[in-house]
Amino acid sequence: MIKQYLKNKNLTLPKAILFDTDNTLYEYHPANKAAEEAAFLKANNLLGINRKTFFENYQKARLEVKKNLSNTASGHSRLLYFQRLIELLGFRAQLLVALDLEQTFWRTFLANAPLFPGVENLLSYLRQLKIPIGIVTDLTSHIQLRKLTYFGLEDTFDAVVTSEEIGSDKPDKRNFELLLSKLDLPLTSNFWMIGDDPYSDIFGAKKLGAVTFQKIHNGVILGKGEQLPDFSFKNFEDLQALIQNLVKI
Ligand SMILES: [Mg+2]
């Protein structure tokens, strides 16, 4: 079911649809949890550290990196988290271990991140309709491109922007502006933004006049006030049905 919150929108087919990636195309938290667990097992094996020590110091490392690199793509870098974790544990630089933990993390993450049902159908339907589709996502390009490739979506999108390209995460409007410019669309275009995060995705894209759709599932809270989306939905099948109805009009 699609819920509408802002009644004044006369919905028409958009000139482009922009998608967030993490926790929008797939559920983030189970993948991240499995990946952290695999990294712990690897660290336990390589460095002999116990669970409590690992997770306490991983959190500490993560917060330090995020503080130093606030709101940038590298602020999400697992390589930086693991490098700092190893330092906090009192080891000398263990570069191979840091790289190994990062590889283990992302390999496990991807293996535990199935696309939501209906995502692939919706994307191929939009391609049939020749509606341009793009990705606007936070984190470094290397892993985000790897994710999209792993999902089998390497040839699906017309353009991709990661926050590494801009130097600042969403809701920094330059992310959305760069994607529209890659799609050869003026900033005033009628475009839709599909994302889970009320601040980064909904508030960010609303500032540029987008029609916003918030993807709701486990743990995702509907935005309020300035972060209230125009619409929310739980299933991609429902979003596709809404578009099919607009095509018929
Ligand atoms: Mg997201």
pLDDT tens column, 148-169: 999 999 999 999 999 999 999 9
pLDDT at position 205: 98
Q: Which of 1, 211, 2, 240 is closest to 125 using CA atoms?
A: 240
pLDDT tens column, 119-148: 999 999 999 999 999 999 999 999 999 999
Mean pLDDT of 101-118: 98
pLDDT at position 10: 79
CA distance 61 to 67: 10
Last residue of a domain, one of 47, 78, 111: 111
CA distance 103 to 11: 44
First to last CA, the chain: 20
Last residue of a domain, one of 96, 111, 126: 111
Query: How far does the centroid of ligand 1 lie from the alpha carbon of residue 118, in Å?
Result: 17
Model confidence at 207: pLDDT above 90: yes
Question: Same structural domain for residues 105 and 150?
Answer: no
pLDDT at position 6: 80
Helix 51-68 crosses helix 28-47 at what angle (to 10 degrees)? 120
Query: How far does the centroid of ligand 1 lie from the alpha carbon of residue 44, in Å?
Result: 30
Last residue of a domain, one of 88, 111, 134: 111
**Per the structure block, which two tokens stand in for 102?**
């990062």
Query: How far does the centroid of ligand 1 lie from the alpha carbon of residue 26, in Å?
Result: 9
Give the chain's domain count. Answer: 2
Mean pLDDT of 82-110: 97
Model confidence at 228: pLDDT above 90: yes
Q: What is the DSSP string of 53-102?
A: HHHHHHHHHHHHHHHHTTTSGGGG-HHHHHHHHHHHTTPPP-HHHHHHHH
Q: Give rounded-to-5 percent helix, strand, coil for the chain.
A: 50, 15, 35
Model confidence at 8: pLDDT above 70: no
Question: Same structural domain for residues 18 and 137?
Answer: yes
CATH number at residue 233: 3.40.50.1000
- Which domain covers residue 176, as residue numbers? 2-26+115-248
At residue 249 the predicted structure's pLDDT band, cuts being 50, 70 and 90, is confident
Mean pLDDT of 91-111: 97
Question: Same structural domain for residues 68 and 7?
Answer: no
195 Cα distance to chain centroid: 8
pLDDT at position 248: 87
Question: Same structural domain for residues 50 and 140?
Answer: no
Question: Same structural domain for residues 126 and 107?
Answer: no
Query: How far does the centroid of ligand 1 lie from the alpha carbon of residue 8, in Å?
Result: 26
Query: How far does the centroid of ligand 1 lie from the alpha carbon of residue 192, in Å?
Result: 15
25 Cα distance to chain centroid: 8
Question: Same structural domain for residues 235 and 127?
Answer: yes
Q: What percent of the chain has pLDDT over 70?
A: 99
Catalytic residue among 22, 169, 196, 197: 22
Catalytic residue among 20, 138, 172, 197: 20
At residue 9 the predicted structure's pLDDT band, cuts being 50, 70 and 90, is low
Find out whether 88 and 57 touch, Cβ atoms under 8 Å. Answer: yes
Question: Same structural domain for residues 102 and 200?
Answer: no
Question: Same structural domain for residues 95 and 211?
Answer: no
Question: Same structural domain for residues 21 and 34?
Answer: no
pLDDT at position 84: 98
Would you give the DSSP letter of residue 158?
Answer: S
Q: Which residues lie below 8 Å from residue 44, measured CB to CB, with a gap of 6+?
A: 50, 51, 54
Computed over every residue of the chain, the mean pLDDT equals 97
Residue whose pair of structure tokens reads 């793509």 in the numeric block:
73
22 catalytic? Reply is yes
Question: Same structural domain for residues 59 and 44?
Answer: yes
- Give the pTM: 0.96
pLDDT at position 224: 97
Question: Same structural domain for residues 188 and 241?
Answer: yes
Question: Same structural domain for residues 87 and 43?
Answer: yes
